[in-house]
Amino acid sequence: MSHARFTHRILSTLIGLAACLAPWTTAAQDPLRTALPPPGDSNTRQIVQLRDGSTLVGQITESWGDSARFESLAGRIMLRRADVTSVRTVPSSSIRNGRYWADDPNATRLLFAPTGRTLAKGEGYYSNHWIFLSDAHLGITDRFTLGGAMTTFPSGDFIKNNFYFISPKYAIEQSERLNIAAGAFIGAAPFFENASSNTFGIAYGIATWGTLDASLTLGGGYGFAGGRMAESPMAMLGVTKRISRGWTFVSENWLFPNTKFSLVSYGLRSTGEQTAWDVGFVTLLGGESVFLPGVPWLGLTWKFR
């Protein structure tokens, strides 16, 4: 192939890609296609994205189709639909000093263990921990959440040589400051030859007190394996505390029956609208030697609706 023909083919490909992407680019810059929303109540605020890329945070106090009156900390302005690309309504409690603080997208769990909260109907998330453990959960109803997980260790027989889990959770009590749920984390290991020995897990009850800014979670459960339930329960204590607009402190700690060891974990969670990164450490306490800060923990959660 000659150099001229090769160059012509490259240019043709680039032009074709540009033509495919053009509608998406244009759509992203189009003004709002529907009328501006009516005024909200005192418990809501609006986040308005303008065509010039700027963002306004405040409240629409009056609207008449193509225009609206908007009040923010900077003062009162008039909005035109042609200048607006999107309008989103959020709770007024999420606006602090004129800035939007997104809720924790991973509020139904600590670093790994669940909280007493459940997902709303249609909400869901995918999480990955250290690449080799993935899980996904979906709100079947506002009270019932169903999830599944699996390891992804490379193997010559990938299906057989990994672990698989299912995790149902049902809300017993739901309120702004108290959420109580019961559930189970049921695992299977196909590589065990004895079928009665390849299932294991924990049946638990969990309660969370507090808000998304600060909460205390207390839980307990009985482990089981090979068709037998443990005689003594294990206990868990978890804490979350939002320390800034983008970061939350998270700690999850387990006390196991008939042992002198406890599992302690702590770290930070980045708080975005749909994604959350967990970075922390996990260690065992109670032995003659204490390994601090512990084994690094890394997790990623992407929430969808």
Residue 137 belongs to a domain: yes
Whether pLDDT at 6 is above 60:
no
| pLDDT tens for each residue of 239-253 | 999 999 999 999 999
Residue 106 belongs to a domain: no
C-alpha–C-alpha distance, residues 209 and 215, integer Å:
6
**149 against 261, higher pLDDT:** 149
| pLDDT tens for each residue of 118-142 | 999 999 999 999 999 999 999 999 9
Return the CATH number at 274: 2.40.160.40
Mean pLDDT of the chain: 87
Whether pLDDT at 19 is above 50:
no
Question: Which of 36, 67, 100 is the last residue before a domain boundary?
Answer: 100
DSSP codes, the chain:
--HHHHHHHHHHHHHHHHHHHHHHHHHHHSPPSSPPPPP--TTEEEEEEETTS-EEEEEEEEE-SSEEEEEETTEEEEEEGGGEEEEEEEEGGGEETTEE-PPPTTTTBSSSSB-S--PPTT-EEEEEETTTEEEEEEESSSSEEEEEEEE----TTTTTTS-EEEEEEEEEEE-SSEEEEEEEEEEE-TT-SSGGGSEEEEEEEEEEEE-SSEEEEEEEEEEEETTEE-SS-EEEEEEEEE-SSSEEEEEEEEE-TTSS-EEEEEEEEE--SSEEEEEEEEEEESSSS--SS-EEEEEEEEEE-
Residue 131 belongs to a domain: yes
Q: Which residue, among 116, 112, 115, 107, has the nearest Cα to 134 in the 3D structure?
A: 112
Contact 80, 70 (CB under 8 A): no
Whether pLDDT at 270 is above 60:
yes
Whether pLDDT at 64 is above 90:
no
Same domain, 181 and 276: yes
Same domain, 49 and 23: no
Whether pLDDT at 235 is above 60:
yes
Same domain, 224 and 175: yes
Whether pLDDT at 162 is above 70:
yes
Residue 242 belongs to a domain: yes
Residue 38 belongs to a domain: no
C-alpha–C-alpha distance, residues 151 and 245, integer Å:
33
Question: Which of 68, 84, 100 is the last residue before a domain boundary?
Answer: 100
Same domain, 267 and 137: yes
Same domain, 50 and 23: no
Number of domains in the chain: 3
Same domain, 145 and 70: no
pLDDT of residue 28: 45
Cis peptide upstream of residue 31 (ω within 30 degrees of 0): no
- Residue 59 phi/psi, 5° resolution? -140, 130
pLDDT of residue 130: 92
**192 against 4, higher pLDDT:** 192
Same domain, 208 and 95: no
Residue 111 belongs to a domain: no
Same domain, 96 and 165: no
Q: What is the mean pLDDT of residues 87-100?
A: 87
pLDDT of residue 30: 64
Residue 114 belongs to a domain: no
Same domain, 185 and 289: yes
If pLDDT is split at 50, 70 and 90, which confidence band does 170 have? Answer: very high
Residue 113 belongs to a domain: no
Same domain, 53 and 89: yes
Same domain, 146 and 192: yes
Same domain, 58 and 176: no
Whether pLDDT at 297 is above 90:
yes
Q: What is the mean pLDDT of residues 271-299?
A: 87
pLDDT of residue 13: 47
- Residue 190 phi/psi, 5° resolution? -60, -20
Domain range for residue 15? Answer: 1-28
Contact 101, 246 (CB under 8 A): no
